[in-house]
Amino acid sequence: MNITIENIVLIGSILLLISILVGKTSYKFGVPTLLLFLSIGMLAGSDGIGGIYFDNPKIAQFIGIVSLNFILFSGGLDTKWQSVKPILKEGIALSTLGVLLTAVSLGLFVYSITDFTLYESLLLGAIVSSTDAAAVFSILRSKSLALKTNLRPTLELESGSNDPMAYVLTIAFLSLVVNQDQSFWSIIPLFLQQMILGGVLGIAFGYLSKLAINNIRLDFEGLYPVLVIALMFITFSATDFLGGNGFLAIYICAVYLGNQELIHKKTILQMFDGLAWLMQIVLFLTLGLLVFPSQIIPYLGIGLVVSLFLIFIARPVGVFLSLIFFKMKLRRRFYISWVGLRGAVPIVFATYPLLAGIDKAPMIFSIVFFVSVSSVLLQGTTLSIVAKWLNVGLPEKDKPLAPNDRYILNLPKSVMEEVQVNAQDYAVGKRIVDLHFPDSAFISMIKRKDNFVRPGGSTIIEAHDILVVLLDHEDSIQEVKRVLQVGFV
């Protein structure tokens, strides 16, 4: 079956519905949801029962880049700075040095056992060098896996921030494969430019995005997530246009925004949570359609060898060497090594050699696809088991709530208090979003003279307002009063 304008919506909606229904029951059998999405795409493809012919790496790459924008941005919004700050150095080491060491060690191994050139081998290593944000975020959260100390923030920070490094290495080694006369050292300026510009522009666009969200007055609450989507794509495309790393920029921008007080933040977070899942499904379905299983079978042997080396040697080497200067228990290092999930991102990166037309591109794509599937299947199904074996997991009842769960889950507060705003208070004339209310409290209603006002982030506090405040505990009321009287301290 060929995909046409007339049937693409029907086919897409049916595949989406099947994916959701199958994913709902997948964990009863211990199978990661993302792997099922990929399998459904393969079954619907030309080698499967669906017979849908799709062989366009360029479209698949475009869908992949758009999807990764949403996935990384959603992951960044959920990243709390207070959780990340204690492990920031470890996370940066893993997402930069760890990725480089993984790519080089795997590349040298591939070079020693195949007829690949050195640069082709390093290209393959670079493509599969990063952990996949979609796989890590979805599997950790879907399994509700509670981990001790700062282990989970470390894993999520690494997976969200190491794709840019893998992307730079992929583009760099691909250029060396295509341009044989190019010097190895010529890729260093490209690396520095991509990472520095990506980081700086990510912070800059984050600050500008906050100003835009909080100061552009929109008539409808539902338009604010649309505004954020526009800002997300502007951040990515503008950074890429200027020569920086767009993936790094949108992740940093999202982390910044996720730690700021935003108008309609609850609506924005809920929307991106749903969109991230949608994009994960679309991404894996698309890549499943792109794959021809009959073309992968001849490379299963080499794919298995490469996958096992990556999981048991290259990934641990990258983790242990990049963390060698940090104090961390051995079992935590082993667990970080095991959560080296490869998923859709390496498959998306593997489309770059296909579009560049290099000789080994089909073989590289097939090996990368097998590595990704085997990684999700082996590591993704055993995260809970290995966490228990290494004693790094927490009982479900002891699992701490994520900071942004108060927006996503609509958690009830246990205490309600009324607080009157006096004429001399700091809060008078200020918008709620600018007051920096404590996380343990929020304003549910405002009594203003004889009227009741439903508060929003842009609502301006007036003198003699009576605020109906919901709190986690009674002690929070003193902090609320201090914010209203003298401002955030």
DSSP string, 173-210: HHHHHH-TTS-GGGHHHHHHHHHHHHHHHHHHHHHHHH
Q: Work out the pLDDT band at 409, boundaries 50, 70, 90.
A: very low
The sheet with strand 441-448 has its strands ordered as: 415-420, 466-471, 441-448, 451-453
Residue 107 gets the label, from left (phi > 0), alpha (psi -120 to 50) or beta, of alpha
**Over the chain, what is the mean pLDDT?**
84
Higher model confidence: residue 398 or residue 182?
182
3-state secondary structure of 1: coil
Residue pointed to by tokens 């992951």: 75
Distances (CA, A) of 327 to 162, 241, 489: 21, 40, 33
Secondary structure letter of residue 269 according to DSSP: H
More confident residue, 161 or 397: 161
Regarding predicted confidence, which is higher, 282 or 403?
A: 282
pLDDT surpassing 90 at residue 453: no
- pLDDT at 1 (0 to 100): 54
pTM of the model: 0.82
Name the packing angle between helices 151-161 and 57-77 (round to 10°). Answer: 140
Place of tokens 């080694």: 173
pLDDT at 5 over 80: no
> Pairing state of beta strands 415-420 and 466-471?
antiparallel
The Cα 420–Cα 423 span in angstroms is 10
Lowest-pLDDT choice from 32-46, 52-66, 121-135: 32-46
Question: Contact 253/205 with Cβ under 8 angstroms?
Answer: yes
Arithmetic mean of pLDDT, 69-91: 88
- Whether residue 443 is predicted with pLDDT greater than 50 in this model: the reply is yes
Query: Residue 296's pLDDT is what?
Result: 87
pLDDT of residue 122: 96
- Can you give the pLDDT at residue 134? 65
For residue range 132-172, what is the model confidence (pLDDT) as tens digits?
A: 766 676 666 655 566 766 787 888 788 878 888 999 999 99
pLDDT at 441 over 60: yes
Question: How many CB atoms within 10 Å of residue 410?
Answer: 9
pLDDT in tens, 334-373: 999 998 888 778 989 999 999 998 999 999 999 999 998 8
Helix or strand or coil: residue 443? Answer: strand
275-326 pLDDT, tens digit each? 988 888 888 888 888 888 888 889 999 999 999 999 999 999 999 999 998 9
Cα–Cα dist 17/371, whole Å? 27
How do residues 103-125 score in pLDDT, each as one tens digit? 999 999 999 999 999 999 999 99
